[in-house]
Amino acid sequence: MARKTIAIVSEISPSTAGGLITLAPGFTVPELSLVHATAINIAAAVGSAGDSEITIAGTYLAGEQIKVTFSSNLTTRQKFRKTYTVDVQTGATTVTDIAAALVAKIQREIDAGLIDYPFESVSNALGVVTVTQKGDDKRGLEVFVYTDSASGTISEVTTQTVYSEGQPSDLADAGIPSDDIVAASYATVLVPYNEQVAQPFIDSKGEVATHLKIFASAANYATDLQTIIDAI
């Protein structure tokens, strides 16, 4: 079954007249196209990209080793997976030294600008390495750590992405022209849409599942729209 989403932006409340529902200036649909639909409201939210904090602690000796493996599906359909190995060097056995060596390996690939590389930045603070993913629209970060040290330790904590909703970047990602993005944030309203047009299926039954994704500046937009739908 085909599926598509139509994104629109509205600075007005929805209204109905003569069997038509006006969802936005210049965007009007027949009432029948929204029969039995449900308007789902998603409040605006400032997103934050997920990150991984890798803590290197304890006492390491030269010749010991740490390994950090990252797995991610953030940037490609094929899952990204890579292991970074740091061999502890003579004269560089402190946790800060080891963390700096790990950071250097990751930073080198960030600087290379690889399109499918899933990380935006990496930093080190006294043996704690923080790796931040690209973007705040998806969760997809797995991290595995290992050391063969007798007295050194390594641990990891992942902070998952907080999704961005209704921010100007979200409207741009949905294809809204920049000139139409005038508010600081929008409520996002999702509603199933039964297009009242002929569908291109010959010899077999076909369906096109369509959703409207409405970015609305009016906080009560979803409630007003659901009231209209319920009255159809």
pLDDT truncated to tens, each residue of the chain (232 aa)?
Answer: 446 889 999 999 999 999 999 999 999 999 999 988 999 999 999 999 999 999 999 999 999 999 999 999 888 778 899 999 999 999 999 999 999 999 999 999 999 988 889 999 999 999 999 999 998 888 888 999 999 999 999 999 999 999 999 999 999 999 999 999 999 999 999 999 987 655 555 555 444 558 999 999 988 999 999 999 999 8
Picking from 46, 1, 34, the residue whose alpha carbon sits closest to that of residue 189 is 34
Q: What pLDDT is recorded for position 2? A: 46
Give the per-residue pLDDT at 3: 60
pLDDT for 135 equals: 87
How wide is the angle at C-alpha 104 spanned by C-alphas 103 and 106, nearest 5°? 65
Given this model, what pLDDT does residue 1 score? 41
- Looking at residue 137, its pLDDT comes to 83
Nearest to 195 by CA among 45, 5, 68: 5
The burial of 134, by beta-carbon neighbours within 10 Å (0-12 exposed, 13-18 middle, 19 or more buried), is given as middle
Long-range contacts of the stretch 183-187 (C-beta < 8 A, 24+): 183/11, 183/217, 185/44, 185/46, 186/9, 186/44, 186/215, 186/216, 186/217, 187/41, 187/42, 187/43, 187/44, 187/215, 187/216, 187/217, 187/218, 187/219, 187/221, 187/222
Q: For position 23, what pLDDT does the model report?
A: 96
What pLDDT score does 228 carry?
A: 94
| 213 backbone dihedrals φ, ψ, rounded to 5° | -115, 105
What domains sit in the chain, N to C, each tagged with a CATH number?
A: 2-46+165-230 (no CATH), 51-159 (2.60.40)
Partners of 144 in beta bridges: 69
pLDDT at position 166: 95
